[in-house]
Structure 1
Amino acid sequence: MNRLLLLFLLLALTLARPAAAQIYRATDPLAHTYSIVARDPLTGDLAVAVQSHWFSVGTSVSWAEAGVGAIATQSFTNKSFGPRGLALLRGGKSAREALDELLRTDEGRDVRQVAIVDNQGRVATHTGAKCIDFAGHRQGNQFSVQANMMLTEKVPDAMAQAFDNNARLPLPERLLRALDAAQAVGGDIRGRQSAALLMVRGKATAEPWTDRLVDLRVDDHAEPLRELDRLLRLYRAYEHMNAGDLAVEKNDVPGAIREYEAAEKLFPQNLEMQYWHAISLANKQRLPEALKLLKPIFRQEPNWRTLTGRLPKVGLLTVSEAALHQILTLK
């Protein structure tokens, strides 16, 4: 049989074979993982958090929109469930209705794991029959935790318990405690690599650029949860920094000092936090205290001294010429 005839026969057999439904594409992430979706009953804020032994898990698993809902799509991940699910919620579907619609049109539903919380706190979760053990989920008051390819079957219960036990914490910190609890009982059987935390407002505003409240990702790290916790604490510190800047705009120097001090306490080694605290003290005519802070800053990074000379021009440093000279000539 010549080669041309053989190729013809193989092509004929291929065309005669029934087409298999496509449930996985090479570009889709294998985000076997554990996650949590939740709504804060007090503020209405919506959030999703996740950790996995997969690079940049936050770009595929976690989705949220202010005033709409939060979604985690994982296992053999169908990323379209994120934007499509939010569109269904935005159109008036409940979490359950949206999830049912997504699964109805998905031939790969048996290998998917999906969780949705809507803007009323209703939750819906699906763990496909062919998700890799240990796999499961637990639902609670306005939250759902879900996991697959875990080392032990204890992960969902541990996450749910940790979330319930930390109700006094702000929502992002509660989500991290749930992720920590999953890791403490074994977590992902493959280990760990990335994590993410996303929180949006419970109600959309006329300024959508302010509606995403927390958006933190650790794409590749030996201890992604520890790094995510550090980033969240840094985020809280910069909340104080932003409040301090706002106080400066309002000429509220005492308020600025309070906020910059609070930021500095959270991250005492951060030069910028120390620097603006010092500048606020100088503006309050507390020059000796300001000089004490500025001296080691200038030694460690001389560019801060250069920046200081530029501040009077824009009104951010309002000291006398003599005081400015003392600052700029610090040894």
Structure 2
Amino acid sequence: MNRKHLFLLFLLVVYLPYVPRTATAQVYRATDPLAHTFSIVARDPQTGDMAVAVQSHWFSVGTSVSWGEAGVGVVATQSFTNKSFGMRGLALLKSGKTAQQALDELLRTDEGRDVRQVAILDAQGSVATHTGKKCVDMAGQQQGNQFSVQANMMLTNTVPTAMANAYEQNAKLPFAERVVASLEAAQAAGGDIRGRQSAALLVVRGKATDAPWDDRLIDLRVDDSAEPLKELARLLRLRRAYEHMNAGDLAVEKNDVPGAIREYQAAEKLFPDNLEMKYWHAISLANKQQVPAALKMLQPIFKQDPNWRTLTQRLPKVGLLTVSNAELKQILALP
């Protein structure tokens, strides 16, 4: 009997007696995840951006627990998860309801409210949280200024307080890193009694724009890992590195070579083993008539992976490398 079958048997034994025989809605469906977990919903008071982040001993927890929409709000739905709470909760917020009104409406129509744990945060920073009386211990929640933390099936009862303290004490961190620090504090306080498997971080804009495809500022998921929070933090650092890369490219377009170099160096410092970052840094230098500096950077790249030399041959055709023929030959002749 696998883990999911054991949970279903547990549900039948413990929870079925509490379901009214006249109820037409099921408390649990086999397609729903049993995402017992800890999570945070928060709004950055400086920018208005909103985040929802989670870790659990469950596969791909981000596909079930975390939901968000720019200019609307974020939702975390967990424990015996009702995934419809995500989209329905956001729709209720979008219709003009407050976080509390939206949560009340979701729970009013849910026969499984006693086994749910839900947190909703709206674009104004108001939060509403529910921990059902039949959530598995240790279970609890704690609200603060424009944030809420919630957890169930934890090893200890100190997880929510640890999360809240970490979030409040790390106000100087960038918003996403501050949210991740709260998750890390939860794990340090004992975390999920079953262990760990997956994590997710979603950050959306406080106000929607005319380019909704850009309104998800960060969307990172670790679906299966022995150390999901460490991997999530690594992915966040990698994203920050690429932000510096993009800023460097923009500086090149503006003919700001010193600014480009600063940005590229910042990117490489965050992710020193990424050959591509070093490669495009070198190509940008070559395009700005700094071929000797480019050669110095390209030589170890070509040595480590000769495919980059092959790619370099193809760049002049599409205008991505604008050196003279003599300089191109010099680049390609690197040992």
**Under TM normalisation by the shorter chain, which class is it?**
over 0.9
Structure 1 residues without counterparts, runs of 5 or longer: 1-16
Residue by residue, what CA displacement relative to the aligned partner does 1:273-311 show, whole Å, maximum 9, x if unpaired?
110111122223222221111111111111111111122
Name the residue aligned to 2:29.
Answer: 25
Quick one: which of 100, 107, 124 aligns to 2:104? 100
State whether residues 257 and 280 of structure 1, in contact with CA within 8 Å, keep that contact through their aligned partners in structure 2.
Answer: no
Deviation of residue 205 (structure 1)?
0.2
Provide TM-score, normalisation by structure 2.
Answer: 0.92
- Are 1:110 and 2:110 matched, yes or no? no
- SS of residue in 2 equivalent to 1:31: coil
Residue by residue, what CA displacement relative to the aligned partner does 1:246-280 show, whole Å, maximum 9, x if unpaired?
23344443333222221111111100011011112
Quick one: which of 56, 66, 81 aligns to 1:62? 66
Residue by residue, what CA displacement relative to the aligned partner does 1:195-225 show, whole Å, maximum 9, x if unpaired?
0000000000000011000000000000000
**How many pairs does the alignment contain?**
315
When structure 1 is superposed on structure 2, of 258-267 and 81-90 the one drifting more is: 258-267
Residue by residue, what CA displacement relative to the aligned partner does 1:23-81 show, whole Å, maximum 9, x if unpaired?
10000000000000000001000100000000000000000000000100000000000
Quick one: which of 44, 48, 65 aligns to 1:40? 44
Structure 2 counterparts to residues 306-321 of structure 1, below 5 A: 306-321=310-325
Quick one: which of 236, 242, 245 aligns to 1:241? 245
State whether residues 253 and 283 of structure 1, in contact with CA within 8 Å, keep that contact through their aligned partners in structure 2.
Answer: no
- Distance in 2 separating the partners of 1:162 and 1:133: 22
State whether residues 71 and 85 of structure 1, in contact with CA within 8 Å, keep that contact through their aligned partners in structure 2.
Answer: yes
Name the residue aligned to 2:231.
Answer: 227
- Distance in 1 separating the partners of 2:256 and 2:92: 46
Residue type of the partner of 1:208?
P
* % identical aligned pairs: 79
- Are 1:273 and 2:273 matched, yes or no? no
Name the residue aligned to 1:7.
Answer: none
- Distance in 1 separating the partners of 2:81 and 2:190: 22
Structure 2 counterparts to residues 65-144 of structure 1, below 5 A: 65-144=69-148
Residue type of the partner of 2:187?
Q
Structure 2 residues without counterparts, runs of 5 or longer: 1-19
- SS of residue in 2 equivalent to 1:30: coil
- SS of residue in 1 equivalent to 2:74: strand
Structure 2 counterparts to residues 157-306 of structure 1, below 5 A: 157-306=161-310
Deviation of residue 19 (structure 1)?
4.7
Residue type of the partner of 2:308?
W
Name the residue aligned to 1:11.
Answer: none
Residue by residue, what CA displacement relative to the aligned partner does 1:132-186 show, whole Å, maximum 9, x if unpaired?
0000000000000000000000000000000000001111101110000000010
* Shift in CA distance, 79/255, structure 1 to aligned 2, threshold 3 Å: same
Deviation of residue 110 (structure 1)?
0.2
- SS of residue in 2 equivalent to 1:273: helix
- Distance in 2 separating the partners of 1:264 and 1:279: 15
- Distance in 1 separating the partners of 2:222 and 2:165: 25
- SS of residue in 2 equivalent to 1:168: coil
- SS of residue in 2 equivalent to 1:221: coil
Residue type of the partner of 1:30?
L
Indicate the RMSD between aligned Cα atoms, in angstroms.
Answer: 1.3
Provide TM-score, normalisation by structure 1.
Answer: 0.93
* Shift in CA distance, 314/253, structure 1 to aligned 2, threshold 3 Å: farther
Q: Which has the larger radius of gyration?
A: 1
* Shift in CA distance, 125/101, structure 1 to aligned 2, threshold 3 Å: same
Name the residue aligned to 1:6.
Answer: none
- SS of residue in 1 equivalent to 2:155: coil
- Distance in 1 separating the partners of 2:54 and 2:105: 24
- Distance in 1 separating the partners of 2:103 and 2:173: 29
